[in-house]
């Protein structure tokens, strides 16, 4: 198997696999088409949509359909706008409603240089996913499913030991410690959250 084929296989099996010089950041999930000219709605996962999804940005699309191979393609943003509180995106490669419908459920990523991730107080979702969540006494509360970034505050989605997903505000009072080395997050949740 050639190095290129191995790299392609890694991208198909691990959507976070990248060269050492870059990191993949999830920025959006495509929703339903909007209109007839290929525009789509988008659920945003970035607090910098104006920068990450600016016209001219090249976006990595991973197909959301789990019944087929996870297809990776590149899209170029031509327009980003808001319709009330809904983000709308247009791409150079998508010109009609049928093509836009084919994108539904896809996840969009951008590649960022490693140097951009030098802030010790910030994390991307894939860096924390799978971390054990414990209370201040070390008792298990669950496993981190994902980090959702928001304009007001970030949220941790924790799959509790009961199997239920619990949304935890990512604030210092409730999340006093993130131990990256031991892949552990200490939580001090209010009573009744778990």
Q: Are residues 95 and 130 in the same domain?
A: no
Radius of gyration of the chain (CA): 18
Token pair of 170 as six digits? 């990512």
CB 53 within 8 A of CB 77: yes
Q: Are residues 108 and 138 in the same domain?
A: no
Query: What pLDDT score was predicted for residue 12?
Result: 43
What confidence category does residue 98 fall into, taking pLDDT thresholds of 50, 70 and 90? very high
Token pair of 163 as six digits? 């199997």
| pLDDT, tens digit (0-9, with 9 covering 90-100), for 136-155 | 999 999 999 988 876 667 88
Which of 114, 149, 176 is the C-terminal boundary of a domain?
114
pLDDT at 5 over 50: no
pLDDT at 182 over 70: yes
Give the count of domains, the chain: 2
Give the separation between CA 108 and CA 41, rounded to whole angstroms: 12
Is 11 part of any domain? no
Most confident of 106-115, 116-125, 145-154, 159-168: 159-168
Token pair of 6 as six digits? 């191995």
Token pair of 48 as six digits? 């910098």
What confidence category does residue 23 fall into, taking pLDDT thresholds of 50, 70 and 90? confident
Query: What pLDDT score was predicted for residue 168?
Result: 92
Q: Are residues 152 and 84 in the same domain?
A: no
- Across the chain, what does the average pLDDT equal? 80
Q: Which candidate, 49, 175, 64, places its Cα nearest to that of 123? A: 175
| CATH number of the domain residue 51 falls in | 2.40.30.60
Q: Are residues 158 and 136 in the same domain?
A: yes
Query: What pLDDT score was predicted for residue 111?
Result: 82
Helix (H) or strand (E) run with residue 99 in it? helix 97-103
Q: Are residues 75 and 28 in the same domain?
A: yes
| pLDDT, tens digit (0-9, with 9 covering 90-100), for 38-89 | 999 999 888 778 888 889 988 989 887 554 455 678 899 999 998 888 899 9
Query: What pLDDT score was predicted for residue 84?
Result: 85
Q: Which candidate, 24, 7, 10, 6, places its Cα nearest to that of 108? A: 24
| CATH number of the domain residue 134 falls in | 2.30.30.240
Query: What pLDDT score was predicted for residue 7?
Result: 42
Q: Are residues 138 and 81 in the same domain?
A: no
Which of 92, 114, 136 is the C-terminal boundary of a domain?
114
Task: List the beta bridge partners of residue 60.
Answer: 74, 109
Task: List the beta bridge partners of residue 88.
Answer: 41, 81
Q: Are residues 61 and 101 in the same domain?
A: yes
pLDDT at 131 over 90: yes
51: number of CA atoms within 13 Å, CB side? 7
> What's the chain's length in residues?
194
Query: What pLDDT score was predicted for residue 71?
Result: 65
Give the separation between CA 120 and CA 48, rounded to whole angstroms: 18
**Rounded mean pLDDT of 24-46?**
90
Q: Are residues 109 and 159 in the same domain?
A: no
Q: Are residues 144 and 108 in the same domain?
A: no
Those residues with Cβ within 8 angstroms of residue 76's Cβ, 6 or more apart along the chain or in another chain: 56, 57, 58, 59, 91, 92, 93
Q: Which domain holds residue 85?
A: 22-114
Q: Which candidate, 48, 45, 41, places its Cα nearest to that of 27? A: 45
């Amino acid at each position: 198997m050639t190095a290129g084929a191995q790299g392609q296989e890694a991208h198909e099996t691990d959507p976070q696999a990248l060269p050492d010089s870059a990191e993949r950041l999830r920025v959006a999930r495509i929703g339903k088409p909007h209109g007839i000219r290929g525009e789509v709605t988008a659920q945003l996962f970035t607090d910098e949509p104006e920068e990450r999804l600016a016209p001219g940005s090249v976006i990595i699309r991973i197909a959301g359909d789990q019944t087929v191979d996870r297809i990776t393609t590149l899209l170029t943003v031509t327009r980003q706008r808001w319709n009330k509180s809904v983000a709308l995106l247009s791409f150079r490669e998508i010109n009609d409603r049928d093509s836009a419908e084919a994108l539904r459920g896809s996840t969009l990523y951008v590649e960022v240089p490693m140097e951009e991730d030098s802030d010790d107080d910030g994390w991307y979702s894939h860096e924390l996913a799978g971390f054990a969540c414990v209370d201040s006494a070390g008792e298990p509360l669950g496993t981190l499913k994902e980090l959702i970034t928001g304009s007001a505050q970030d949220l941790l989605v924790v799959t509790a030991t009961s199997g239920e997903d619990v949304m935890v505000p990512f604030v210092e009072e409730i999340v006093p410690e993130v131990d990256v080395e031991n892949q552990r997050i200490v939580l001090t949740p209010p009573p009744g959250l778990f």
